[in-house]
Amino acid sequence: MKYSPLQQQRYRYKPKLPKILQEEIHSIVPVFGEKTESETDQQELKKIFPHTYGKPVVSFAQGSNQEMSRKRNIGAVLSGGQAPGGHNVISGIFDALREANPESKLFGFLGGPSGILDDKLLELTPEIIDEYRNTGGFDIIGSGRTKIETKEQYDRCAEVCRKHSIDSLVIIGGDDSNTNAALLAEYFLQHDAGISVIGVPKTIDGDLKNQYIETSFGFDTATKTYSELIGNIQRDSHSARKYWHFIKLMGRSASHICLECALQTQPNIALISEEVARKKQTLHQIVEEISQVIAARSKAGKNYGVVLVPEGLIEFIPEMGSLIGELNDLLARRSDEFAASEDTVGWVAQALAGDLKETFSSLPRDIQLQLLMDRDPHGNVQVSRIETEKLLILMVEKRLQDMKQQGEFTGSFSSQNHFFGYEGRCAFPSNFDADYCYSLGYNAFMLISAGLTGYISSVTNLASPADEWKAGGIPITMMMNLEQRHGTKKPVIKKALVELEGAPFATFAAQRETWASETSFVFPGAIQYFGPPEVCDQPTATLKLEHQQ
């Protein structure tokens, strides 16, 4: 296989570790802090997790650890969507495992959690690992979205692990995957399976976070990749001076990506879903705000600009959220009638009532059809397929035409739409993500060697140089609450939304009026891997601002 010069150089990169993990591995011991509790639903969660709830926070210190040398077989699983750095998590597990005992083995389950159920796995050798160090993607073993949540599936997992003498699983995934990891850990303890389960926090969306999980891996690289593309478009916009670019960015449940990219690039407009929800803004109010900015810039001779739109915005707009909820329910209850209809849009319009009917009927037909497309496995609309940026363009265009007739707008409006999603999920990880992911993987092995289960790997103090990072772990149950799923309350890791009182949003909010009127574009350029730390090793603006609080 032919490798690019950059890929060859990335193979040679040596990820940095927290100082404690740089010590000789047999001289690192766990230190147990106070017992923990979830923020809400404590009594219910204790009943669901009698063996793993309330465990203490763990850190590491120097000491003598005889247990470290025990021969182990570990299975690694990549779960859910890709995120830059996954290969380094696996590399970190492998290196720690072999340093502790060269006879230990690491297996990768192929294609995600289904690899366990289907008994499809690969022993990861030094030759295989070395082919993937510091590279993007999940192609070393593949990923998948199969959920392991039934007794039969738990039993099958235990059976397959015993067959291969695997005594620990590391599940690398987002909130749902780590929720499943906690349930699996609890089940294994209840049935004395002798298999521990450790999670690793992954999602480019950035919504898996708290004081111990300061950021999920992949967020740094993805936002820097998107910011480079946004900067390129802003440069083009400022050069041509004739287009408004509407850019949709990944992030269904939270607007962390949109906010971070706004802080890095300073667009004219960036919509934050959480603010829309708090203000209970209607779709027409959002369109009006955008139209007023466009009109004001046009009056100053600036018929161009950039608008950032979070992927999940449409669900945060009150009337659209209500409409989507009703459509999900309607199409589930009356699926046969819907499938038999020749005019699905007309059928839905007749089936809806009141304000929801009016909202649906006011939408462009393309958007109506997108709202009716195939549902996800939970029966919900697939928000990423809804071209929210096009919806806004069409409605802004109509509003500007009305303003022109009233003499409130005398300029021109030409638009371009973009969606940046997959471009960022498998990029070469930044130095930050390469270091962070390697540390998370190495640290995951340390949690296993401490005899822990139901924990998630935690590396903190991330706004400082890697040498000053703190390694440890927290029980996954600490991050949980109960949410309604399919008519019953189920334990899930609570998604972290953008905090409107936090420093990142406050910094953005203090500057956005200036960005709207003036052209304040910043052009971040490509991710840099070589050079001074202030260029190559910087964390996100979000992390730096959060650590200033």
What are the pLDDT digits (tens) for 273-314? 999 999 999 999 999 999 999 999 999 999 999 999 999 999
Residue with tokens 């389950």: 109
- Sorted by sequence, the CB contacts under 8 Å of residue 495 that are 6+ apart come out as 175, 207, 208, 253, 254
Domain 40-218+429-492 - what CATH class? alpha beta
pLDDT average, residue stretch 523-536: 96
Check pLDDT > 90 for residue 55: yes
- Sorted by sequence, the CB contacts under 8 Å of residue 367 that are 6+ apart come out as 386, 387, 390, 391
Percent of the chain having pLDDT more than 70? 99
Residue with tokens 């001779």: 301
pLDDT average, residue stretch 63-73: 93
Check pLDDT > 60 for residue 241: yes
480's enclosing H/E stretch is strand 480-485
| CA dihedral of residues 256, 261, 264, 266 (deg, nearest 10) | -110
- Give the Å distances, CA to CA, from 420 to 131, 224, 250, 261, 366: 28, 12, 7, 11, 20
Helices H / strands E in the chain, number of each: 22, 15
Backbone φ/ψ region at 40: left (φ over 0), alpha (ψ -120 to 50), beta: beta
For residue 109, which phi and psi values (nearest 5 degrees)? -80, 130
Q: Which residue in 278, 222, 237 sits closest to 420, CA to CA?
A: 222
pLDDT average, residue stretch 512-522: 98
pLDDT average, residue stretch 150-163: 97
320, 357 Cβ separation under 8 angstroms: no
| pLDDT of 332 | 87
Q: Which two tokens stand for residue 48?
A: 């669901």
- The C-alpha atoms of residue 460 and residue 438 are separated, in whole angstroms, by 14
Q: Which two tokens stand for residue 301?
A: 């001779």
Q: Which of 167, 175, 205, 207 is catalytic?
A: 205
- Exposed, middle or buried: residue 377 (CB in 10 Å: 0-12, 13-18, 19+)? exposed
| pLDDT of 485 | 73
Check pLDDT > 90 for residue 413: yes
The answer to whether 40-218+429-492 and 219-419+501-548 have equal CATH topology is yes
300, 346 Cβ separation under 8 angstroms: no
| pLDDT of 105 | 98
| pLDDT of 373 | 87
- In this prediction the pTM is 0.95
Check pLDDT > 90 for residue 541: yes
pLDDT average, residue stretch 143-163: 96
* 76 pLDDT tier (thresholds 50, 70, 90): very high
Check pLDDT > 70 for residue 417: yes
Instruction: Indicate the range of 49-58, 271-280, 355-364 predicted with least confidence.
Output: 355-364
| Strand residues in 202-266 grouped as ranges (E) | 244-249
| pLDDT of 486 | 66
Q: In this predicted model, what pLDDT tens digit does every residue of 459-510 receive, in sequence order?
A: 999 999 999 999 999 999 999 999 987 668 999 999 999 999 999 999 999 9
- The C-alpha atoms of residue 224 and residue 202 are separated, in whole angstroms, by 16
* 111 pLDDT tier (thresholds 50, 70, 90): very high
Check pLDDT > 90 for residue 374: no
Please determine, looking at this structure, whether the domain spanning 219-419+501-548 carries the CATH number 3.40.50.460.
Answer: yes
The per-residue pLDDT of the chain, averaged, comes to: 95
Check pLDDT > 90 for residue 375: no
Tell me if residue 467 is catalytic.
no
Coil, strand or helix: which one is 241? coil
109's enclosing H/E stretch is strand 105-109
pLDDT average, residue stretch 150-157: 97
pLDDT average, residue stretch 260-273: 98
- Give the Å distances, CA to CA, from 171 to 86, 242, 407: 11, 48, 60
- The C-alpha atoms of residue 546 and residue 549 are separated, in whole angstroms, by 6
| pLDDT of 377 | 64
pLDDT average, residue stretch 223-227: 98
For residue 314, which phi and psi values (nearest 5 degrees)? -60, -30
Check pLDDT > 80 for residue 381: no
Coil, strand or helix: which one is 410? coil
**Domain spans, the chain:** 40-218+429-492, 219-419+501-548
345, 298 Cβ separation under 8 angstroms: no
Q: Which residue in 417, 402, 388, 408 sits closest to 243, CA to CA?
A: 417
Check pLDDT > 70 for residue 378: no
Crossing angle of helices 318-333 and 344-351, in 10° steps, is 110
Rg (CA), the chain: 25
- The C-alpha atoms of residue 371 and residue 441 are separated, in whole angstroms, by 40
Coil, strand or helix: which one is 432? helix
Measure the CA angle with vertex 66, ends 16 and 197; round to 5°.
Answer: 65
